[in-house]
Structure 1
Amino acid sequence: MQKKNNVQKFFLFSIFFVTITIYRGQSVGINTQTPEASAILDLESFVGTKATATATISNGAVTGITITNPGEGYTFTPSISFVGGGAVLNGGTRATATVTVSAGKVTNYSITNGGSGYTSAPTVVFGNNNKGLLIPRLNIASLSNFTSPVNNPVDGLLAYNIGSPTNSNEKSIYYFDSIKNSWVSGLKSVNTPRIAYLDVTGDTSVLTNLGAGYTNVALQNKPKIAPVSNIAGLDIYTYNNNQYGIILPQGDYVVEINFNLTTPPPSSTDSNYYIMGYFIDLYNDNYNNSTKTITSFGSDFNRKENVVTSKLNTNHFVPWMYFVHVPTTSNPTQMYCLRMYIGRMQDSTYNTTAIIKDIGSYIKISKIK
């Protein structure tokens, strides 16, 4: 054992040829002699020299990569990711790329998507995608049992519940919460907040002189997904230039449609108030996320109605709420695309043009499962 600069290094060699480097009072590294300084434990599945590179951006997108060190010892193709640069904070998208390995070194790259919203060059990170960390697997039959399978678990203890068919609790990584005296699934926050906001863009005229029961396309302008949205896979589908739908991955959702409507006042009226009724017909079309196409159009619709009392020359805010279940199948590319129409109810005070105002109109989608 050699001591230098108050750092002790122990190299333990076994039949697995794993190198463990211990820095007194600092970090522990496995398969790395330079463990990350901000981590207590740095696990590397790759035994070799990591490649390094820098990114170049133009007009908010990644346009090039310069490989500064090709690394060595690669027996697999590493993943590549772009960290920082402001893309996500600015409501943009992260760039994606792939690399080519030859003779154990990274030799080339291909940018598959330059991303958007970058204000500075992101950091290029090469990943080790051929190994994982195996968390101890336990039979956590009761989340409130703190004597079995672990007796008096310490606060923050991690374990993976093996789940069905051994027990009915979700297969997941759990941590023990000593305040609740319970095991808590640590993966339920992966999609947090699991809410998306879609802003209506541009005023839309609908129901011009149409009587009760007739409908018009509700989303005639492409909605904008707000940057704070965090439902993986949610997207906008273009049926044509005057009709758009909302793509939902498998799961359960609450869809809240909120339209700020205005209707020109009638030429004559006996009152400053009038009653207007509106409905939304929601269709679930089958969507294939691999081919990016509608595979079949839903023939049945879910209708929600709402009646409002409006004052002359005043907009009226009309909400509708739906529960949408997108069936879980063995093929995750099978999704739903929501197609919606707006109509006027019978016995509304009068029939004339209704305008969906972009200011104040939005759709909120909450993924609940």
Structure 2
Amino acid sequence: MKIVNFVCTFFATVALAQSGSVGINTSKPDPSAILHIENFNGVSATATATISGGAITGITITNGGSGYSTVPTVNFYGGGSVVNGGTKARATATLTNGVVTGITINNGGSGYTTAPTVVVSGGNKGMLFPNLNIANLSSTTTPVASPANGLLAYNGGANSNNKTLHTFNSTSNQWQSTIDAENTPKVAYLDFTGSLSALDNAVAGANTQLMVNPPAISGVSNINGFKVVQNPSSGGYSLVLPQGNYLVEVNLNLNSPQESPAGQGGTAPLSGSTYYLMGYFIDFTNDIYNNTSNTFTGGANTRKEVPIVSKVNTNHLATWSYYYSVPANADANIIGGLRLRLGRMQNSTFYDLVNVIPTGSYIKISQL
């Protein structure tokens, strides 16, 4: 394995040690060479993290480092957050005279099973790719004549193609846009865990906490800052989301057994049939969550009703959609805590038990 070290200090001096060509001013790059770019010339700071309940609760600086001219970034690697479908923690460093003197946890994340590695990254420079006018993705003459397979360039021209990095694919013989992270859909999926039996002999208008069991967060979830937090005031779990707009879709697989005793609360099938109107509602409560103190403040409530016609002992799917907005706040730690309660709709003709079946029950959140 050939390794190339490319070191650029803040004084613009360059040291280049090369045991194989990596394609810098060469037509025959060595594919086994590694190009390493580093623009920090001081002593890197080090720190360790502690976790509790799957979240990072503390960071200890073991070495403040030296030579920082700008505030470094703090990243967390490992710890099981991705594997377990959790969310990545975020933190901000404080710099004094070139030394890291403090690290503030902005978001403790979720899903950590072991303490992650803390990496403090210095530097204030990046890699600049050629800025080209790639107006025609199929052109092999303009702006580059006979582009090489894998050539990278940024489309900065006045054209309708994506303003992002492009790579040339010699198989399709055209330029292809790389992923634009800002346009990637941000979603979160939660599967229900454990069974829930509710509304036993309950009249219309009665409701109960929906998420009494901690939901399983899918590993494909990618909404930054999203997490599920136990709400001490309700005893259940709330969906915590940062400032922004979201579409929350709740899908429940429900089943109501034969009522006992018969006719409970006026239970009766629809006239001339064996079907019942098993109507339900969900109360979406917009609590305010303080991400620093881990506390909830009660907010406004919105009720969404869904009429369902079904037989007893028969699974029936109920679906709700709710537009959820977390208003902007000067304090980034004041965010949203959405609480859900399941209830029996007015004019239902069935007033006995309903079972929420985990298989087929889920919540999807889309960031708009």
- Of residues 218, 224, 241 in structure 2, which corresponds to 1:232? 224
DSSP 3-state at the match of 1:50: coil
Cα distance change of structure 1 residues 179 and 251 upon mapping to structure 2, 3 Å threshold: farther
- TM-superposed deviation, 1:20: 3.6
Name the structure 1 match of 2:48: 55
- TM-superposed deviation, 1:240: 3.6
- TM-superposed deviation, 1:24: 1.5
- Of residues 20, 29, 46 in structure 2, which corresponds to 1:25? 20
Say whether 1:241 aligns with 2:243: no
Identify which of structures 1 and 2 has the higher relative contact order when contacts are C-alpha pairs closer than 8 Å and 6+ apart.
Answer: 2
- TM-superposed deviation, 1:221: 2.6
Name the structure 1 match of 2:259: 265
- TM-superposed deviation, 1:361: 6.3
Q: State the TM-score, normalized to the length of structure 1.
A: 0.65
- TM-superposed deviation, 1:320: 1.0
Name the structure 1 match of 2:27: none
Letter paired with 1:362:
S
- Are 2:245 and 2:326, in contact at CA under 8 Å, matched by a contact in 1? yes
Structure-to-structure mapping, 1:1-369, within 5 angstroms = 17-25=12-20, 40-46=34-40, 48-51=41-44, 53=46, 55=48, 65=60, 67=62, 71-90=65-84, 99=93, 101-106=95-100, 108-110=101-103, 112=105, 122-141=116-135, 148-150=142-144, 153-162=147-156, 166-179=158-171, 181-188=174-181, 194-199=187-192, 203-206=196-199, 208-211=201-204, 214=205, 216-217=207-208, 219=210, 221=212, 223-226=214-217, 228=219, 229-236=221-228, 238=231, 240-241=233-234, 245-248=238-241, 250=244, 253=247, 255-268=249-262, 274-281=275-282, 283=284, 285=286, 297=300, 302-311=304-313, 316-320=315-319, 322=321, 324=323, 338=338, 340-344=340-344, 350-357=350-357, 359-360=358-359, 362-365=361-364, 367=366
**CA deviation vs aligned residue, 1:77-120 (integer Å, no higher than 9, x gap):** 323333224454355665665555555445x4446377776666
- Are 1:215 and 1:341, in contact at CA under 8 Å, matched by a contact in 2? no
Cα distance change of structure 1 residues 362 and 17 upon mapping to structure 2, 3 Å threshold: same
DSSP 3-state at the match of 1:297: strand
DSSP 3-state at the match of 1:40: strand
Matches of 2:189 and 2:66, distance apart in 1 = 43
- Are 2:5 and 2:35, in contact at CA under 8 Å, matched by a contact in 1? no
Matches of 1:146 and 1:332, distance apart in 2 = 51
Matches of 2:137 and 2:246, distance apart in 1 = 24
Unaligned runs of 5+ in 2: 25-31
Cα distance change of structure 1 residues 145 and 197 upon mapping to structure 2, 3 Å threshold: farther
DSSP 3-state at the match of 1:51: coil
Identity %: 27
Matches of 1:131 and 1:17, distance apart in 2 = 11
- TM-superposed deviation, 1:224: 2.8
**CA deviation vs aligned residue, 1:266-303 (integer Å, no higher than 9, x gap):** 4459999644433434658496888987797366x554
- Are 1:12 and 1:20, in contact at CA under 8 Å, matched by a contact in 2? yes
Matches of 1:124 and 1:118, distance apart in 2 = 13
Letter paired with 1:277:
M
- Are 2:7 and 2:37, in contact at CA under 8 Å, matched by a contact in 1? no
Letter paired with 1:351:
Y
Matches of 2:206 and 2:300, distance apart in 1 = 17
- Are 1:162 and 1:171, in contact at CA under 8 Å, matched by a contact in 2? yes
More displaced 10-residue stretch of structure 1: 149-158 or 109-118: 109-118
- Are 1:284 and 1:336, in contact at CA under 8 Å, matched by a contact in 2? no
Unaligned runs of 5+ in 1: 1-5, 30-37
Letter paired with 1:233:
G
The count of aligned residue pairs is: 343
Letter paired with 1:199:
F
Q: State the TM-score, normalized to the length of structure 2.
A: 0.65
- Are 2:278 and 2:350, in contact at CA under 8 Å, matched by a contact in 1? no
Letter paired with 1:42:
H
- TM-superposed deviation, 1:146: 5.9
Matches of 1:55 and 1:208, distance apart in 2 = 53
- TM-superposed deviation, 1:19: 0.7
Name the structure 1 match of 2:28: none
- RMSD value over aligned CA atoms? 5.2
Cα distance change of structure 1 residues 216 and 159 upon mapping to structure 2, 3 Å threshold: farther
- TM-superposed deviation, 1:263: 3.7
